[in-house]
Amino acid sequence: MKDYQDGYIKLALPKGRFLSPTASLLADIDLGFQDYSDKTKQYRLRSARFPGLSAKILQEKDIPIQVAVGNYDLGICGLDWIEEFLVKYPAGALVKISSLNYGEGSIHVVASAEAGIANLSELSAGRNDYRIVSEYPNLAEAFALNLRMRRFRIFPVWGAAEAYPPENADLAVLWGKSGADIETQGLIPLKRLLPVTAFLIANRESLENKDLSQILTCFNSKLTAEPQTSREAKPLKQRPLPEVLQLIPEAMARRFNAVPVAITDNAFQVAMANPADIFALEALAAQSRMRIKPVAATAEEISDAIDFNYKAFGEIEEQVSRISIPTEETDEKVALRAATDTPLVQALNLIIEEAIKARASDIHIEPQEDRVRIRYRIDGTLQDTMSLPMSVHRALISRIKILAELNIADHFRPQDGQFSIKSAGRPIDIRVATSPTVRGETAVLRFLDKSKVHRPLRQANEINLALPDGHQQAPTSQLLKQAGLTIQGYYEDVVSRRPFTDLDWLGIKVIRPQDMPLQVANSNFDLAITGEDWLQEHLYRFPSSPVKKLFALGFGTVKIAAAVSQEMPVADVDGLRSLVQSSKFAPLKVASEYINIADKYLRDNHINPYKLIPTWGASEAFLPEDADMLIDNVQTGKTLKQHKLKIIDVLFRSSACLIANKDSLASSDKKEKMELLAQKLRAGLK
């Protein structure tokens, strides 16, 4: 096709989460794609401004791969999928151009609140084998290797990784909007791996051999160079350095909705909700006596940063300024002051309380040459929080030792202890470790929130049922009602990953239908409601799998079909075989979510050579430029016709079905209850 000749530029655009902000960006820089919006029903776009520029809308997961193999010159997608690709293929042809200044959330390593794992340091204690579930298997593996785990297993899933810990996995690597959002799901964020921001990417060969300058110039006003520490980028509230906070008073920060961040290249970097506010820039420059370098941030981020930094810093500094302990005082006198000195007690209490508010896992108190450095470990990374005068060091360490019942007179040996506090009504254990250094003793305070340590939910004799999310959720919810099963938290438009029922022997989780056959085979579930297509995909890969279909449920009916471009001169699979054998399509490129089904179909029909292209949905977008044929699920065929495709064969028909683990069915502890549940579901079909 003309758009895909060497002189033309091809851009891959995302569906889903980044579609709206990307459409706004493209409108702002006037690339000429008027039809790219939430209402877009077509995959191919042509620029009205640049005759040689065309675009295709793809699933975001597919974009880094398609750009890397050279099917597209440029692409826009999330940093998470870029890094997931680069971690496995670091020397590939994918090049990150720049962040596009929008995105949400981060990739986190999390554990269940019921597992008793509060921070990364506990992962190496007492165990050598960890199960890690993720839809980012390469990032998960890189994390485990960087942490030097002795043994670990990665379980790739299509999504819903948050549902698996603690029963089916010890850790999950997943996207989360924030640490607080993750905690609402009963999970503890252990480490923040990277922020999820939209990036412009390019194919290396295209950068070298094509003239992309006009297109890149359009992006230029929106581009921001990737920070060197992008994998460890901090939230705004954790970025201001203690010394820069003193340059702008809290009242001025609130007045101009701005927060100081750092001093770089002789410029004062200030995060602002309105970086174009000339009056604010002049006032901040006059106050700090420095050139202001504004960076954009949301009003909510700035408000959080001001609350987090100024309140904690100001109150702690006020209490510390009231502490007066001569350096020559004996240990006994220092200990007495540490036990009774109100400002010292208040200062330590505030340091601990602010760490808990920041969701820190531990506090590090470290003497430097002339200051005491206080660092919080947040999302697995130590963050400089504040520095205090060296004059308070001995008293601060003594106060901690008194609380942990350690020997205050012993400064030359490591000591361990603990004490407990209550924060917002929650009991928290604080483990203390002190160590001698050449500048004095360091102290590490590690938190364990006892309110988050519970008995694991799963019992050895309960039946575990997996219910589907997505398109099958509504009809499954209706079936459960008809079967007389009351499931709290699983409705047609609302879903909890852990719904519950009044049957105390039944455990339920909501996961992706694509993952269910393998999860049932691994005995993580005894029963599941999935599609016959995904069961068949699993059985073609694992013919001896212990998963069996009990009965069809009658909804979610689709055809698994083979389709090609209407321009391809074939009407059926026989014609396709002849065309491939004539070398006009050699190898035949086949795009599909169903790699194992596609592979078996091509072998059974003696179509060779062929090349499979795994996709994560919207396979029709690949034809005819990036693939010759697709094997996908089809309901009416209207979508295929809209994209000028035709069906040449129907492999089989698929609907929702109930599947079971054969070993569970043979178990005397489970058979009766599994049959009872199956009978209820069968009755609901009538």
Please state, in angstroms and as integers, the Cα–Cα distance from residue 378 to each residue in 161, 364, 425, following that order: 22, 12, 22
State both tokens at 636. 């009416």
Q: Across the beta sheet with 426-437, what order do the strands follow?
A: 381-389, 371-378, 360-367, 440-449, 426-437, 415-423
What CA–CA distance (Å, rounded) separates 98 from 90? Answer: 17
Q: Which residue has the tokens 């993720």?
A: 134
State both tokens at 587. 């190898």
Residue 64: alpha-carbon gap to chain centroid: 17
Residue closest to 484 by CA, chosen among 686, 685, 680:
680
Least confident among 439-443, 509-513, 633-637, 657-661: 633-637
Containing H/E element for 216?
A: helix 213-220
What CA–CA distance (Å, rounded) separates 214 from 199? Answer: 18
Examine the pLDDT at 3 and tell me if it is beyond 80: no
Least confident among 26-40, 327-341, 497-511, 523-537: 327-341
**What pTM, to 2 d.p., does this model score?**
0.71
pLDDT at res. 13? 96
Which residue has better confidence, 431 or 234? 431
pLDDT at res. 170? 92
Q: Per-residue pLDDT averaged across 98-107, rounded?
A: 83
Domains in the chain, please, with CATH? Answer: 1-232 (3.40.190.10), 236-297 (3.30.300.160), 322-452 (3.30.450.90), 463-556+656-684 (3.40.190.10), 558-652 (3.40.190.10)
Q: How confident is the model at residue 325 (pLDDT cuts 50, 70, 90)?
A: low
* Span 43-68, pLDDT tens digits: 889 999 999 999 999 999 999 999 99
Q: Per-residue pLDDT averaged across 314-336, rounded?
A: 64
Handedness of CA 213, 217, 223, 227 (dihedral sign): positive
- Yes or no: say if 170 and 120 are a contact pair by the CB < 8 Å rule: no
Residues with Cβ within 8 Å of residue 27, at least 6 apart in sequence: none
What CA–CA distance (Å, rounded) separates 563 from 590? Answer: 10
* Span 220-238, pLDDT tens digits: 866 643 443 333 356 776 6
Q: 463-468 and 506-511: which strand pairing?
A: parallel
| Residues linked to residue 645 through DSSP beta bridges, in sequence order | 565
What CA–CA distance (Å, rounded) separates 373 from 368? Answer: 7
Other beta carbons within 10 angstroms of residue 489's beta carbon come to 14
Ranked by mean pLDDT, the top range of 103-112, 223-232, 261-270, 383-392 is 103-112
- Yes or no: say if 562 and 649 are a contact pair by the CB < 8 Å rule: yes
Q: Which long-range contacts (CB under 8 A, 24 or more apart) does 80-86 make?
A: 80/107, 80/136, 80/139, 80/175, 80/194, 80/196, 82/199, 82/201, 83/139, 83/194, 83/231, 84/136, 84/137, 84/138, 84/139, 85/138
What CA–CA distance (Å, rounded) separates 572 from 591? Answer: 18
**Average pLDDT in the chain:** 85
Q: Which residue has the tokens 């906070």?
A: 245
| Residues linked to residue 463 through DSSP beta bridges, in sequence order | 506
* Span 466-510, pLDDT tens digits: 999 999 999 999 999 999 998 888 987 767 898 888 888 999 999
Compute φ and ψ for 189, nearest 5 degrees: -75, 120
pLDDT at res. 78? 94
What CA–CA distance (Å, rounded) separates 256 from 273? Answer: 8
What CA–CA distance (Å, rounded) separates 528 from 512? Answer: 11
Residue closest to 114 by CA, chosen among 186, 182, 185:
186
Examine the pLDDT at 353 and tell me if it is beyond 60: yes
